[in-house]
A and B are shown apart, each in its own frame.
With several copies, the nearest count.
Chain A
Amino acid sequence: MAPSYNTMEMMICVASRYLEDGKTVAVGTGAPCAAAMLAQKTQSPNLVILFEAGGISPLLPQMPISVGDSRTFFRAVMAAGMTEMMTTCSRGLVDYAFLGGAQIDKFGNINSTVVGDFYKPKVRFPGSGGANDFASFCWRTMIMTVHSKSRFVEKCEFVTSPGFLSGAGAREAAGLPEGGPYKIVTDLAVMGFEEKTKSMMIESLHPGVDLDKVKAETGFELVIPKQIGSTAHPTEKELKVLREDVDPLKLVIGRA
């Protein structure tokens, strides 16, 4: 019998599995940081965690509340600066980065800036922060988000951070380095991108979720491959490490 878990735990466990050992990952606070910590404590002990404000490979004593707080460089191998981290990404040394946003479209572009008129917005969000930079520089960007029709839109009202822009060939034409969105992990499914069109494609459905549910919560037409996988449940071990070692105060996994 599968263990019980909430959707946040599910997303974190699933996302963590994509983080290969011996790679680098730039993380923010919250779920992405939890996913990276979990990966480190399970299958990827040599995963290197980086924070954009300068923390390099800390021995995180607890979940940071800011990507620049003192936890992000607690017993780090180096306390560097933002330019150091961003240029490390720019020259190709960072494999994964996690992004979030208010909207994501079928080419994996993200809006975290405004809804409505830019000059007098209906809703103003934080903007890029380092997201546009990570999405431009890192080899594989990861997205963790709740799956809903208002979030998964045909076209972002504002493209804050680049996915595949307008599709195949568009990143190259814009002058962006090779890279782009890799996996989108939601509470319903995992999506990737079709090689040829760079359109979002369903890869696996979470336990108990059917395709229609995902379609209903997606505001554009997903590419449906012949074979759709089934996401594996979080394992006992993943949940134990996540709950006891990664986030014992339930700062993140308590939010589901």
Chain B
Amino acid sequence: MKVLDQGVNPLFMDPDPDKAREFFRQKTRAMVDKRMTEKEVVEKFIPDGCYLAIGGFGANRIPTAVIHEILRARRKNLGFLGHTSTHDFELLCAGKCFNRLDAAYIVGLEARGLSPNARRYMESGEVKVTEWTNYSLAARLKAAAEGVSFAVIRSMLGTDTFKMSGAKVIECPFTGKKFAAVPALWPDVAVIHVHEADMYGNAVFRGISVADMELSRSAKHVIITAEKLVTNATIRANPTATSIPFYLVDAVVEMPFGSYPGNMPYLYFSDEEHLAQWMKVEKDPKEFEKFLDHYIYGVSCFEEYLERCGGLKKLKTLQKLENLVEK
């Protein structure tokens, strides 16, 4: 294979599809009760040093409870997939949980601005970064989901984003045209928040899928957090709606309001006040430490965090916002 050009930065995961196959060969396909708590999930599936991916889109349909638990469990040296990450990234930076990063969108919270603490962490030089784009990372997951070691795309070419990536330029054997080849990525573990799941892991999300179809098919372990547990019969009544089949899933955590302070389509809007507070207190590291103690390290569970953020009254407001009952 003639390689015409290549990015200079490292791949953090092995793109060998046969090693991935060996893993998946061993993974159980039995439809058994997979319910766990967020504590158990972090204990069992998210050890120090593993490569983590988070579903949803930064502050939309994210598994906040598990991320908080990762911080409380003081996980370190993770690899992280900084795909469409925003508040999830902000959280993991707050805990300095990762030391290597595939980056497409990081340190920002979109229209809300940039996270001062995430920037500090990323400007510290402590994190190894390989650069990508939103589509190229989705394509890497897609290649993994397909059981092949690479995919070809037409972006990244000609830019420093390519140069600072781990992609390569190859020629099409049919047309001779140039393409960026991006390596398959099988994350060790993906955590995805959904609307509904049964105890076996059959999961349904509504609205946009972002890259969660690809992510749930590529990650070696898949953790589902769900707004609601439903019966298997409910899932089977409408199989067209299922997003993730049970045999991909390792654990199911029931977590109402689990995407808070992010948006959960059709259920509740993001808490923009709380998100703004994050970025504000991050400016002062000392203040930020106290803030983290109050909201994360000093609480025992996600429900307690919700209480400290305003509890049911706040959540009711966000439900109204989402459903356009209040502006």
Contacts and interface: CB of A to CB of B under 8 A. Distances in A.
Asked if chains A and B are in direct contact (CB within 8 A), the reply is yes
Interface of A: 21-24, 28-30, 46, 48, 51-59, 61-62, 64-70, 72-73, 75-84, 86-93, 95, 109, 113, 118-133, 135-137, 139, 156, 158-162, 165, 170-171, 173-178, 249, 251
B148 interface: yes
Given A80-B208, A81-B212, A175-B169, A132 B263 contact: no
Contacts of B202: 77-78
B210 A82 contact: yes
A53 B208 contact: yes
Interface in B205-242: 206-214, 217, 232, 235-237, 239-240, 242
Contact of A70 (B135, B155, B158, B263): B263
Contacts of A21: 30
10 contacts: A46-B32, A48-B29, A66-B270, A69-B269, A83-B138, A113-B161, A113-B164, A130-B134, A132-B159, A133-B155
B146 interface: yes
Contact of B60 (A23, A69, A127, A174): A69
Interface residues of B, number: 101
Given A90-B148, A136-B154, A73 B135 contact: no
B131 A55 contact: no
Given A81-B208, A121-B122, A177 B245 contact: no
B36 interface: no
Interface string B284-318: 00000000000000000000000000000000000
Interface of B: 17-18, 20-25, 27-32, 56-61, 82, 84, 86, 103-108, 110-112, 114, 119, 122-125, 129, 131-136, 138-139, 142, 144-148, 153-161, 164, 169, 177-180, 200, 202, 206-214, 217, 232, 235-237, 239-240, 242, 245-248, 263-266, 269-270, 272, 322, 324, 327
B contact patch SS: mixed
Output the residue of B106, B123, B235, B245 with the most chain A CB within 10 A. B245
Nearest to B232: A77
A68 B30 contact: no
Contact of A54 (B29, B208, B237): B208
Contacts of A80: 208-209, 242, 245
B236 A77 contact: yes
B18 A128 contact: no
A132 B136 CA distance: 10
A6 B246 CA distance: 37
Contact of A66 (B59, B213, B266): B59
A128 B136 CA distance: 10
A157 B237 CA distance: 46
A91 B114 contact: no
Contacts of A59: 236
B135 A24 contact: no
A133 B110 contact: no
Contacts of A83: 135, 138-139, 142, 211, 213-214
B288 to A, nearest CB: 18
Contacts of A124: 106-107, 119, 122-123
Given A91-B17, A92-B22, A160-B159, A66 B154 contact: no
The 3 closest A-B pairs by CB, nearest first: A175-B178, A174-B158, A68-B57
Given A91-B144, A124-B107, 7 more contacts: A64-B111, A65-B110, A66-B270, A77-B235, A92-B21, A93-B247, A135-B155
Contacts of A178: 18, 21
A113 B131 contact: yes
A29 B150 CA distance: 32
Contacts of B211: 81-83
A176 B157 contact: yes
Contact of B160 (A46, A120, A136, A159): A159
Contacts of B327: 62, 249
A130 to B, nearest CB: 4
